[in-house]
Amino acid sequence: MSKEIIERVEKILPDFDLKLVSQGAEALVFVTEKHPYLPKDIKPAGLTNVNNFIVKYRPRKPYRHEKLDLQITKSRTAGEAKLLYKLDSLNIKAPKLIALDAINGIIWMEFLGFRLPNGNFSSLKNWLWFIEKKGESEAIGQLAKDVMRLVGYAIAELHLNEIVHGDLTSSNIVLVKESETEEKYSVALIDFGLSSYSNLVEDKAVDIYVLERALVSTHPQFSELYNEWLLEGYHSLYSEKKKINAWRDVERRLAAVRLRGRKRSMLG
């Protein structure tokens, strides 16, 4: 099925060299070196990477009625594009929107991140695995602490603007180089396909809990510290904005969500 989907997107974009980088239940993500409308000798301004671009494609679902499927695909694609535009206007680090083809389920966006020395993409998951292989002193060193606090801070920026990510895993968080000469990073959130506007404390707590569980799953040896630093960063922005009561609400609800999660695990 995936081969048919890839062939379909290649027909929609016949003049683009597309490299598949990830495939989920809702979308396929490609990298291309060609901008959707600028010639190759003109580089776009305001982007971190002017040589690579992300193409996200939502394929049609054959089990849905054709007209309904078109409507859903168009709506969800346009909704994600609008959210990316909103995040940019709020100065929240996420891929910038470049172009939209809602009818065909395609979003063009900024490519964020870089290749680690081992060749892997700089998702939080890959970066933590990379430093963990260097030994415990690196895995729980000051740089790891700083990065995890930045992650928490970035999530708090979303939540304080009443936006929930909906799929917060360490694969959907990306490290971006801030310096070519030293290990200095910023953190960006990606993949907002399941995101929504919400002022519910429950939704914010679930967002954090999903990431906590992802870290436990992929980095079990050091996840307790990573999650502690994550919450330190999250709390720090609430403190900066003098939203201590709001933080306490999230903290209390997060404890309740964790308890529900443990009960589900015990019951199987």
Q: How confident is the model at residue 175 (pLDDT cuts 50, 70, 90)?
A: very high
Give the per-residue pLDDT at 189. 97
| Helix (H/G/I), strand (E/B), else coil: 29 | strand
2-110 matches 124-267 in fold: no
Stretch 148-170: mean pLDDT, rounded? 97
Question: Above 90 in pLDDT, residue 107?
Answer: yes
The fold for domain 2-110 equals Phosphorylase Kinase; domain 1 (3.30.200)
pLDDT, tens only, 41-94: 888 988 989 999 999 999 888 788 888 888 999 999 999 999 999 999 999 999
Give the per-residue pLDDT at 7. 86
| Helix (H/G/I), strand (E/B), else coil: 102 | coil
pLDDT, tens only, 179-209: 888 889 999 999 999 999 999 999 999 999 9
Domain boundaries in the chain?
2-110, 124-267
The fold for domain 124-267 equals Transferase(Phosphotransferase); domain 1 (1.10.510)
Count Cβ atoms within 10 A of the Cβ of residue 60 and give its class: 0-12 exposed, 13-18 middle, 19 or more buried.
middle
Segment among 19-23, 166-170, 217-221, 230-234 with least mean pLDDT: 19-23
Q: Please give the model's pTM, rounded to 2 decimal places.
A: 0.93
Give the per-residue pLDDT at 265. 59
CA dihedral 113, 119, 141, 167 (to 10 degrees): 50
**DSSP state, residue 96:** P
Catalytic amino acids?
167
Chain length of the chain:
268
Count Cβ atoms within 10 A of the Cβ of residue 88 and give its class: 0-12 exposed, 13-18 middle, 19 or more buried.
middle
Could you tell me the CA-to-CA distances from 54 to 119, 140, 160, 210, 266 in Å, in that order?
18, 32, 27, 25, 41
Instruction: Spell out where 103-160 has E strands.
Output: 106-110
**DSSP state, residue 140:** T
Distance CA 31, CA 55 (A): 6
Percent of the chain scoring above 70 in pLDDT: 97
